Chain A
Amino acid sequence: MFSTAKKLRDIGVLGLNERNADLIMRLNPRRLYPGVDDKALTKDLAVKAGMAVPDLYGVIEHQGEVRDFANMVAEKDSFVVKPARGSGGDGILVVTGRSDRKRDSFRLSSGMLISEGEIQHHISNIVGGQYSLSGNRDKALIEYCVHFDPTFAEVSYQGVPDIRVIVYRGYPAMAMVRLPTRASDGKANLHQGAVGAGVDMSTGETLHGVLDDALVEEHPDTGVLVKGLKIPQWDFILESSARGYEVTGLGYLGVDMVIDAERGPLILEMNARPGLNIQIANCTGLTNRVDRIEEIFDASASPADRAAIARREFAA
């Protein structure tokens, strides 16, 4: 037991307690949380900073507005419904199209059909606060559904694969690609059963995958090798995520991006408490990289500089 702990310590694996006490409490002051906890606000901030985000179709803040939902998406065939204050991907509904026969019947990313009433109920739940972090009232966002880049088509089962970059004091420290599986119900969340693949920071190529805390080489549903995929526009992704530091002010930040087939990398959301599974996916600990960033930290470096440093320092 102690030997395992020592080994993990040697590799520099960051534990939950250490993350909470040493990183989050020190670098993420509570007053900055609303900027990331409320995805509507994050979107605002990101747009102001000139970053690309999925278009917002509408926000539903009150129970009375739920019936406006049909109008908001009248022109759209695909869209995403998500709680503004949700956590861990809970409460996100990805609608990829409409039923051929009935306009008010929608097809989810899983292929299931869902009625307009059911979506409205889901929105009511979101507004009522079922998915919000604190259980308080919430807003439902209805936004552009990303048509993801074909790079990851073969290693995703439905849903939208995304890229998570951990940014420490503005420097991208570690990254992974999150690939939805059948078990994760199309969601790109590791604890829901998605596959995470580490990324070589210098090249943007994927490394091993991790599924439920264990290493995997292939996607469990498609059987395609997870390793060796080249993430397009890697430079841009690193720079955007580095910019997340300026946007949010958070010193320990998780930036989630998706690559849209037409619009390129978009910021999906940012997270003040990014998880630690990324370490397993990258087969290395965060502590070493955090320490290295502390050594070379330069407050005046631009996001592009920091992204370049990350590429240089953190090759796999």
Chain B
Amino acid sequence: MTQRYVYVLAALLTILGLSVFFYKWQVLGFPVTEDLETPVWTIESSVSFESGPGSIKVNLQVPALTPGFRRLNENSVSRGYGFSTNLGGGGREAQWAIRRADGEQTIYYRISVYEDDSIDESDTTPPFPPTPNINEPMRTAVDVLVGDVRDHSADTASFTTELLRRMNDRSPDPNVELLLSGANSSADFVDVVTTMLASARIPARMVHGFPLAGRQRSATFVTWLEVHDGDRWLYFNPVTGEQSLPDRFLVWWRGNEPLIKVEGGSNVQVDFAIQENHLDAVAIAETQAAQLGTSAVNFSLYSLPIQTQAVYSVLLMIPIGALIMVIMRNMVGIDAFGTFMPVLIALAFRETKLLWGLILFTLLVTLGLTIRFLLDRLRLLLVPRLSAVLIVVVILMLLISMTSHRLGMEMGLSVALFPMVIIAMTIERMSVVWEERGATDAIRAGLGSLAVAVAAYTFMGMAWLEHLIFTFPELLLVILAFVLLAGRYTGYRLTELTRFKELAKN
């Protein structure tokens, strides 16, 4: 019966621990490995203009749907202006408004994004565009060109490619020349192309954005062509006609609306600067969790003050040490002093490093034991004797530190990190075992303790494990489940196989 409760409880704990873990890992994107840094781009646009006499209203197109990128945060720096973002025709618009302003004004809008392949073009299939109203003689040129291109293509994609090829031809045919006569910029060019596609009843729109690469002081927009083939949006390079998107292309806004509209101001200038940072993946995951509104992040250790975090990064490894302890004691069957003494020694090893830890521990225990045997002759009562051992241990630590300092071995100083009470108890226990059961047993249990401590240290020192537990403390539930199961483990201990080997012979 008990057995079944333990299994059920362990299963529940494991499921709970693992599901929270997978949620945080897969959905929120918490990194399972350490120092996973994600590049984050911060794009800052500064809008400067001269204020007019009246009220001022500034509308700036800002990113809405950004395929391949996820928005980390955005903010605006604008003294005295009211700020809001609204969905508009071309996507999203940031709006600043102020009743009165004097002199030159500068408004900043900053957005941070990071790459996320799971973000797709998610807006709905557009309706077929109405045939645009075009005046003669343009109308004939458009009709001729569209009819000609249609004959030379099979579907939307090939239509677009063929159209772009003709429009970009070095020696364009007269119709193209006529159509492009008013196009001075690449944006104008793409605008003409979208009009032509509209005449062919193909939904198309202009896309403005930045290819993100490194740091750019004044970034310029690249205009791209977006065409819907009835199924999804396709991207075309308007110059080459290639169906592609520049690397890390951040879509800023779509359509032929102007980037900025300023009412009540003049001499408008917009500059874009791009900055690439590397942000801890954990920080990004947390921001994302906050956006998703889950409470997982509220319980994250990363929300604690840094110093407390440092404490917990150590404390959270103690369950790992305890787990090792359970395995070594109940499954391997190694003798050790004290239940958790090896774990505490392992904690001290973290600071002293293994070799020095072993040397200092052995030195301390050996010296302590010697003095303990001398104390034995004085026939002290138990508690005073234990206290005497403790004081001797402290003095020994001091002496070791001072001697090693004088010898120039600074590592000896870290002896102070050993848990002195635990060491004193170990010395006492060891001396009692020594007297009662002989040196062999005492040394064997002493070495056993060291072996468990080293094993615990090895696992507790694994950086990836530390990161894993710190980022996903719910894994402690899985460890708890394992420990519960180990509590009902009734199989042989590894050392019992040797102990009972005489029986196995027959």
Interface residues, chain A, CB within 8 Å of chain B? 1, 4-5, 7-9, 11, 13, 15-18, 21-22, 63, 90-91, 117-118, 121, 124-125, 128-131, 183, 191-193, 210, 213-215, 279-280, 283-285
Contact = CB atoms under 8 A, between A and B. Distances in A.
Contacts of A283: 502-503, 506
Contacts of A4: 497, 501, 504
Interface stretch (B41-49, B223-231, B262-270, B376-384): B376-384
Given A15-B490, A128-B382, 16 more contacts: A1-B494, A4-B501, A5-B491, A15-B491, A16-B493, A18-B490, A21-B488, A22-B490, A90-B432, A90-B437, A124-B381, A128-B381, A192-B436, A193-B438, A280-B503, A285-B503
Given A21-B489, A22-B490, A125 B504 contact: no
Contacts of B490: 15, 17-18, 21-22
B330 interface: yes
B443 to A, nearest CB: 15
B383 A128 contact: yes
Contacts of A1: 494, 497
A192 B436 CA distance: 8
Nearest to A277: B499
A18 B500 CA distance: 14
Contacts of B497: 1, 4-5, 8
B502 A280 contact: yes
24 contacts: A1-B494, A1-B497, A4-B501, A7-B504, A8-B496, A8-B504, A11-B503, A13-B492, A15-B490, A17-B492, A17-B493, A21-B488, A21-B489, A124-B381, A124-B382, A128-B382, A131-B432, A191-B441, A192-B438, A213-B500, A280-B500, A280-B503, A284-B503, A285-B503
A15 B496 contact: yes
B473 interface: no
Contact of A192 (B333, B437, B494, B502): B437
Main secondary structure of the interface of B (DSSP, over half): helix
Contact of A215 (B382, B496, B499, B502): B502
Contacts of A213: 498-502
Interface string B95-119: 0000000000000000000000000
A4 B505 CA distance: 9
Interface string B461-501: 00000000000000000000000000111111110111111
Contacts of B494: 1
Nearest to A130: B382
Instruction: Count chain A CB atoms within 10 A of each CB in B330, B493, B496, B506 and give the residue with the most.
Output: B496
Instruction: Count chain A CB atoms within 10 A of each CB in B499, B500, B501, B504 and give the residue with the most.
Output: B500
